[in-house]
Amino acid sequence: MLWQILPKVSRSFALCIKILPKPLNSQMMLAYLIFRIFDTIEDSHASISVKRELFAETLSLFSNRKASPAKVKQRLLSELDYTYEKELLENLEEVVKTYYSQPAGVRRAILKRGRTMAHGMLKFQGKNIETFADQNRYSYYVAGVIGYLFNDLLYQNKIITKALKHRLHRYAHQFGLALQKVNILRDIAKDISENRRYWPAMLIRKYGLSYENLCLKENREKAIRILEAQIENARRYLEAAMKYIMLLPRKAVRVRMFCLIPLFMAIESYVKCAQSPEVFDSGTKVKITRLQVQEIVAKSGLWGSSNDRLLEWFDESMARQC
């Protein structure tokens, strides 16, 4: 059931998660669905006080076996606004049941990172993102913690050693930040239309603009300069994500593919954003083609074990930004 729900909430991650070896694939699928529930709470138009209660009640399901998924489900379905997440919320009992079927170490890792995510999301309710430091903190809570979770699960499944886990820790959360920062780049027009503001307000003010006029065509020249600053900031995180992948065991090709596919999909979107001011047009969405996705999947499988080939692919892809 949960595998059927996954592509309904994210087709791209459904593709990547299925590539992982068992049981890591099921563990990441479960974690992604749990975190998607937190994301649905964050994105809703419920009041901050209601969101605080829903975060706490949802977290309690994964720390207290006696908590009632049916009651929490009823509240989530009645208090939140949602679209394609409805089936996920309706199957909350199955999510909780699957969670408690996991080994204790896996449950602890998911709960630990889930708490950080939920508490962090709550912190940013009503808080403005003024600087890149603010953007980094927000991106950590919604995506960086997933990098740490992946590290935890790799260790739980004996795919990496404790020593390698420590080495990977430096880049793990930056991997998640890289993907999130590209999302923030490409979704600027849509986010503004939905009153979501993830670009640093201080940077926008520096060029005499505001969120209200950033996407106006008459301000395009200044907006592009702001975009260039966002592009430059995101680049360092994409580079760190590549370092993370190259530290992963070369024999763990499917694990590397899980990371390579979303990274290179993000890079293609990143390059499109860098090359096109259409990112500010509300009617235009920066998307990569199905053929590009197929090429990324194929190259990830062919070159996944070769750091030299991967670095060459990365450098060639990033060079297209210029």
Burial class (CB in 10 A: 0-12, 13-18, 19+), 104: exposed
In whole angstroms, give the CA distance from residue 199 to residue 128: 10
pLDDT in tens, 81-108: 888 899 999 999 999 999 999 999 999 9
Q: Which of 51-65, 133-147, 182-196, 248-262 comes out lowest in average pLDDT?
A: 182-196
Kindly state the average pLDDT of the residues 313-319.
96
The angle at the Cα of 33, spanning 266 to 39, to the nearest 5 degrees, equals: 70
- CB atoms under 10 Å from CB of 70, counted, come to 9
- Over 70: is that where the pLDDT of 306 sits? yes
**All structural domains of the chain:** 1-127 (1.10.600.10), 128-322 (1.10.600.10)
pLDDT value of residue 322: 58
Q: Report the alpha-carbon distance of residue 143 to residue 201 in Å, rounded.
A: 21
**Residue 45: helix, strand or coil by DSSP?**
coil
Residues whose CB is less than 8 angstroms from the CB of residue 54 and which lie 6 or more positions away in sequence, other chains included = 41, 46, 72, 75, 76, 79, 80
Which alpha helices (DSSP H) does the chain contain, by range? 2-9, 11-19, 24-43, 48-60, 69-79, 86-90, 92-100, 104-123, 132-139, 145-156, 162-186, 188-193, 201-206, 220-247, 253-275, 290-303, 307-319
CA distance 266 to 77: 32
Indicate whether 154 pLDDT > 80.
Answer: yes
The confidence band for 11, taking pLDDT boundaries of 50, 70 and 90, is confident
In the predicted model, is pLDDT for residue 245 greater than 90? yes
Provide CB contacts within 8 A for 167, sequence distance 6+.
Answer: 247
pLDDT at 222: 96
pLDDT band at 126 (very low <50, low <70, confident <90, very high): confident
Give how far Cα 216 sits from Cα of 38, 223, 229, Å. Answer: 33, 9, 18
Q: Quickly state the pLDDT bin for 320 (edges 50, 70, 90).
A: confident
The 8-class DSSP code of residue 46 comes to S
* Of the ranges 80-89, 286-295, 306-315, the best mean pLDDT one: 306-315
CB 296 within 8 A of CB 268: yes
User: Quick check: 25 and 18 in contact, CB under 8 A?
Assistant: yes
pTM of the model: 0.94
45 Cβ contact partners less than 8 Å away, ≥ 6 residues apart: 81
Is residue 275 pLDDT above 90, yes or no? Answer: no
